[in-house]
Structure 1
Amino acid sequence: MNFLFVLLTALLVSMAIIPIMIRLAPVLGMVDLPDPRKVHSVPIPRVGGIGIVLGALISILLWVPISSAIAFYLFGSVVLLIFGTWDDCRELGHYVKFIGQFVAVIGLVYFGDVWVALVPFMDDPLPAYIGKPFTVVAIVGMINAINHSDGLDGLAAGESMLSLACVAYLAYVADGIAVTLIALAVMGGVFGFLRFNTHPARVFMGDSGSQFLGFSLGALAVILTQQTNTGLSMALPALILGLPIVDILAVFAQRAYQGLNWFKATRNHIHHRLLDLGFDHYQSVVVIYAIQTFFVLSALALQYEADAVLLSLYLGVCALVFVLLILGERTGWRVNRHGSESRLSRFVLSLKSHPLFSTAPTLFIRITVPAFFVIVSLWVGDVPRDFGLTGVAIAAVLLVAMLFDRVQSNAYLVRIAIYGTAAFLVYLTHQYTSQLPEDFPELRWAYFVALALAIVIVVRYVHDVDFRSTPMDYLVVFLVIASGLFMDGASADSAFGEMVIKGVILFYGCEIIINRGNKFWGRVLNISVMAASGILGAKGLLQL
């Protein structure tokens, strides 16, 4: 069950921090300005990495047992956060950034004892005086690979998510719980960031985020293959980490061939070259995601194959990618010759603007969430007396708030009342189900899955939704953390994890109704919650 709380804690902390940082970005100077090498045309805050890092680290500190390796992983993450944030504020030179990267990685390798001893095609392990320096250079290289791949909205985050999911699975099946938890924590931080990074992005992760992701991927790949499961092919990290490795190597090779500074930013990464071939933003990201997905699935399918097989597959696919890029560039081929939008872009844009994609999910939330409150309160048969008293109090609070709806403080009282009733209903449907239909658990899960899907669509794609960070975000963070702490002493078959998931989904459904600014649906929600709490109150007080 800790897997759930690790992911949720990181996600929710990240979601709560990023909106605050977006507002502070202009004051701190953490804004990415357009230039000819970049693909965005307006200033964008580059503060998302702070949310990713803090979300992941807080989750790890709460749920993961701290060993020496993990302690120095945390140390390195904080160092990279400091240097990355400094760079996002002041545009440090690459040599200064290298100082932070080497400090972070040397601590992990030499003091956390995380280093590569087993390598492809060699039966005997490397001695420490070779393996440790090699590991330092390799992880620093991975940090820069992810840092340089962060050129399109969602690109570095998506590539990292695929690799992290692969690491988490491989570690889980090998009983590497610590690696699994860390990978999930980082994924949770990235999920929270992606809420604000839909193209066109409202926020970039910046160096603080991209360096942390590269560091995490490099460290976890080493721990996975060198400590957690040494039976894996030692060539497996090439497939797990995938396209960013060969991309950065190809860029360095090009710069060296052209006599350029190796570390001076240029427009010759794979995503830049795809854009120059006429691929639009969506197509470029999909192409790179597809290649990275192939590598990750190959890693899962071929995890115990010979090193030669894995490296041949990896190098063969990479060679094919670059051959196709070079052929396209030299022949003048363009995927969208007339500069028009691609079919994929037209499909995505038409999907976003279609009523079934925008209006329907909003209407589904507005109708079914209030209905859930009323229907479930009528269905629940047994209500404890203390819940009944609380229900009466909540109904009274909502009634007073509706009578004096111009009082500013009422907004917070109403939110607390709504969230409290939602939590009660989710709990009661798990603990007091004797009066419910036999197929209610399946119907309940189907509803929450549909509600979660509708919420994701509305939050990410319906642009007139003012879905900002509110006290609810912090309440949800507290709920997840408190529930997880309670779970440490609960029985293994406890349903608290499931209740937290459903409670979070219901909370955000309520938040969308409140934040849409439509007074009619806001009143419908308030009345339904008042009715539900009144019904629960009556049932509880009638208990003998």
Structure 2
Amino acid sequence: MELFVSFILSSVISIALIPILIKSASVLNMVDEPDERKVHTKAIPRCGGLGLAIAALSVILWLLPFEGPIGRLLIGGGIIVLFGALDDILNLNYKWKFFGQFLAVFVMVSGGIYLKFLPFAGLDPAPLWIAYPLTVLFVVGVTNAVNLSDGLDGLAAGIMLMTVSAIAFYSALVDSSSLAIMALALAGGIVGFLRFNTHPAIVFMGDTGSQFIGFMASSFTIYLIVDVHQTLNPALPLLILGLPILDTLTVMVQRIRSGHSPFSPDKRHIHHRLLRLGFTHAEAVGAIYILQALFLLASFFLRYKSDSVVLGFYLSICFVILLFFYGAARLGWMLHPVQEPIERRRSFFRRFNWLYKFSKFYIEYSLAIFIGIMIFAMFGHAMMFTQLEMVFAIAFLCLFWFLNNPLKETLTRLSIYAAGVFSCLILNPSNGVDHWLVWGVDIFLAVLLIVVFLAVQVTRKTVFSLTTQDVLVGLFILSAMFLADIELLPRILFRLFCLGYAVEYLFHRKAKEYRPLKLLAMFSGVMILLIVLPGAVSAMK
């Protein structure tokens, strides 16, 4: 339950905080102006990383004790956020950036988080004079690798979302709730940020966000390998953080060969090279997501293999990627120009005039029915609510009615997603629920997804279109196939997949409508909070 709270609460804080920071970006002087090295053509706030970091750190501080290695790790993360924010505001010299990063790593290492075991060194701990420098080099290198890879909308955030999700999974395998909570809190903050950073982005994460997620992900990886899951291969961090490491090393080598500083800015990164090969913005980001997914998939299958196998496989993937770019450059290959999609108004389904209105009606009331079933299923838990909790619920619902529409939509979305996850916990055969009811809910949602697909076909692209987030969703769904031993995970992902597309489609048509659905969703969301929070609080005591 704490894992659920960690992810959801961090997502909520991030989604709620980032719009406030966007409005304050000019006052904070956190605005990214376009130049010759950047893809965007207008000034965009770069304060999203601050909201992401605050969300993740606050949730971790609330759920975990501030002591030992965890406390030192959080202090290190705080130092990164401080120097990153100063850089976003004042454009610090690179020497100050490195000073902040080295200081953060020093605090982390002093808490006992460092590379105690090295590849090809057997089971004996590495000497400190080797372990400490390698830890500093690894963490600072990955921190800057993520920072440098943040060149397209949703790119660095999406890569790190996959990475920290993998870390959370490996932690859950050995029941390490502390690391799983931290990883999921960071994942939740990233999800909230991606809500505003998908192309075309309305906010960037800035150095604050890119350095923070890079530092935390690299630190989590070390903590996972040396303290949490010691049976994992010590070379596994190469695969878990595969693409950022490859990107940074190749770029630095090219800069040194051309006589430039390895830290000089240019357009040699993988995403720049994909754009030069004719990839669109979305195609380049999607391709990089898939490449990182290959590294993570390899880490799953090779997690207990020998050092030589892991290192060999990593080098093999890197070789294939670099060979592709080399061959494309020599042959002058370009991806075929993106053809304009056929106007949806001319599609086969558009012939049925009734389908457009019917789909909207069906999706709206199907979501309302699902939420209604969830509310009914939670009534047994509701009997345990105190009078104070009931007063809080009623007050919140009254306040919800007067909120502005964007915030109301966001809370509605989160409530429906929470209901999707909670439905798997409540409507479960282990709770005495008949299998036919569980499968009935899944079939009901599958039909809903089919109707959404038909609705998309008869709706203009300017109203609803797919984005790079859909690539992430697809990769997470496919990953569930390899995690089938965790019984609830595939069902949770499937239900979130169906509900997510239904909600997004509905709100992209006329978001000011659907008041009964919004009220039902918020009612279920408040009930879930009243059920979950007391359990989380008692678990911390």
Q: TM-score, normalised on structure 1?
A: 0.72
Query: CA separation in 1, counterparts of 2:113 and 2:175?
Result: 18
CA distance change for structure 1 residues 114 and 342 in 2, over 3 Å: closer, same or farther? farther
Can you list the C-alpha shifts for 1:482-506, whole angstroms capped at 9, x where unaligned? xxxxxxxxxxxxxxxx9xx99xx89
Query: Is contact 1:362–1:454 with CA below 8 Å preserved after alignment?
Result: no
* Matching residue of 1:489: none
Counterpart of 1:341 in structure 2 is 338
The code of the aligned residue for 1:341 comes to V
Distance 1:379 1:158, change over 3 A: closer
- CA shift, 1:94, in A, is 1.4
CA contact (8 A) 1:451 1:509 kept: no
CA shift, 1:129, in A, is 2.5
Per the alignment, residue 184 of structure 1 pairs with 184
Q: Residue in 1 aligned with 2:42? A: 42
Q: Which residue number corresponds to residue 113 of structure 2?
A: 114
What are the within-5 Å matches in structure 2 for residues 156-195 of structure 1? Answer: 156-195=156-195
Correspondence for 2:402: 411
Q: Cα RMSD over matched residues?
A: 4.8
Map of 1:293-304 to 2, 5 A cutoff?
A: 293-304=293-304
CA shift in 2, pair 1:291/1:524, >3 Å = closer
The Cα of 1:63 is off from its aligned counterpart by 1.6
Contact 1:358 1:462 (8 Å CA) reproduced: no
Q: Which has the larger radius of gyration?
A: 1
The structure 1 residue matched to 2:364, chosen from 358, 366, 377, is: 366
Q: Hey, what's the Cα distance between the residues in 2 that align with 1:412 and 1:55?
A: 22
Give the TM-score, by structure 2 length: 0.72
Query: How many Å separate the matches in 2 of 1:80 and 1:172?
Result: 27
For structure 1, which segment, 41-50 or 239-248, has the greater mean C-alpha deviation from structure 2 after superposition?
41-50
The alpha carbon displacement at 1:516 in A equals 4.2
Question: Given residue 6 of structure 1, which amino acid in structure 2 is its aligned partner?
Answer: S
Unpaired segments ≥5 residues, structure 2? 428-432, 465-491, 524-541
Counterparts of 2:46 and 2:220, CA distance in 1: 25
Structure 1 Cα separation of the partners of residues 51 and 82 of structure 2: 13
Partners in 2 of 1:52 and 1:215 — Cα distance? Answer: 14
- For 1:366, give the aligned amino acid: E
Q: 1:411 to 1:276 in 2, by over 3 A?
A: same
Measure the CA separation in 1 of the matches of 2:135 and 2:177: 23
* Residue pair 1:22, 1:45 contacting (<8 A) in 2 also: yes
Q: In the alignment, what sits opposite 1:292? A: 292
Give distance in 2, aligned partners of 1:348 and 1:216.
Answer: 44
Give 1:9-408 correspondences, 5 Å limit.
Answer: 9-109=9-109, 111-123=110-122, 124-336=124-336, 340-341=337-338, 346=341, 363-370=361-368
For the residues of structure 2 that align with 1:180 and 1:43, how far apart are their CA atoms? 37
Deviation at 1:246, TM superposition (A): 1.4
Q: In 1, distance between residues paired with 2:16 and 2:143?
A: 26
Q: The residue matched to 1:92 in structure 2 has which SS? A: coil
Cα distance change on mapping 1:230 and 1:358 into 2, 3 Å:
farther
Q: How does 1:528-543 map to 2 (within 5 A)?
A: none
Alpha-carbon offset, residue 64 of structure 1: 2.4
In structure 2, do the counterparts of structure 1 residues 451 and 145 end up closer, same or farther at CA, with 3 Å as the change threshold? farther
Distance 1:451 1:90, change over 3 A: farther
Residue 525 of structure 1 and its aligned partner are, at CA, apart by 7.2
The answer as to whether partners of 2:3 and 2:177 remain within 8 angstroms in 1 is no
Distance in structure 2 (CA, Å) of the matches to 1:447 and 1:56: 35
The number of residue pairs the alignment matches comes to 461
Alpha-carbon separation, structure 2, partners of 1:286 and 1:528? 32
Amino acid at match of 2:106: I
Structure 1 stretch displaced more, 133-142 or 172-181: 172-181
- The answer for the alignment partner of 1:475 in structure 2 is none
Percentage of identical aligned residues = 33
Point out where structure 1 has 5 or more consecutive residues left out of the alignment.
402-407, 466-497, 531-544
1:347–1:246: structure 2 CA closer, same or farther, 3 Å change rule? farther
Q: What amino acid is the match of 1:171? A: S
Deviation at residue 90 of structure 1 after TM alignment: 2.3
Give the secondary structure class of the aligned counterpart of 2:402.
helix
How many angstroms apart in 1 are the aligned matches of 2:367 and 2:267?
48
Q: How far, CA to CA, are the matches of 2:283 and 2:79 in structure 1?
A: 35
How far apart, in 2, do the equivalents of 1:172 and 1:409 lie?
Answer: 36
Q: Which moves more between the two structures, 305-314 or 118-127?
A: 118-127
